[in-house]
Amino acid sequence: MMDKLAQATEILKHAKYAVCLTGAGISTESGIPDFRSDRGYYTNFIPEDALSVGVLESNPARFYKEGYTILKDLEGKKPNPGHVALAKMQEKGFIHEIITQNIDDLHQAAGAKQVLQVHGDASTARCERCNYREDFKAFDERVQSGEIPPKCPKCGADMRTNVVLFGDAMPQAFDDAMRATEKADTMIVVGSSLKVMPVAYLPRMVEHLIIINKGTTPYDHNADVIFDGEASPILVELEKRLSE
């Protein structure tokens, strides 16, 4: 472990431009279930189906009974030491953009500034027609009252979460992530299996790759350094060494 930390520290200290890519593995340490895992009620439905545009449009009652529960899981969660360590690394200039597959806003809550949410943002909802915006709390109050799907208070069209559902086009944040990665020579991946496209394409664009993840990824053979374990203790120690 000590040798790996020293190697990762040197790579980041000498990087010309480093970015970070995070996935569910950093947020599970804040108590947010990974919907790809086999725990709890996620065994009762297929998230890729229930969290799809097709189900939202054709069977909204099912969407709000099944897929919507994943969004509700994010309420009240707080950033963990891993999120804080990344924010500090960004503030000190060791990494630039934080590209995240997560929809929980925990990077921002930890103080990170340049966060590209390539799978959207669960904290807001929008109107499909006029793009009226509403925060999740107000949106959820209407869902809980039985207004399914919630209607836009301005034009009456259906509203929906700002999360990128299966079947949606990728948002502008993904184009921004591509541009950031094109500038980068180094990427640190945290808590991602690197199996979900098109985000999983990004690590192949950089020269140096550091992976922190529980379990293997398809990019392990390309990585300079691999940490197999919980993200927070590794990130905290890495940030400490970078600041020495």
Catalytic residues: 119
Nearest residue to 136 via CA among 125, 120, 149, 147? 125
* Interior angle at CA 140, CA 137 and CA 145, nearest 5: 130
What whole-number distance in Å separates Cα of residue 161 and Cα of residue 56? 10
- The residues, ordered by sequence, that sit 6+ positions from 5 with a Cβ below 8 Å of its Cβ are 234, 237, 238, 241
Single-letter residue type at 185: D
- Cα-Cα end-to-end distance for the chain: 18
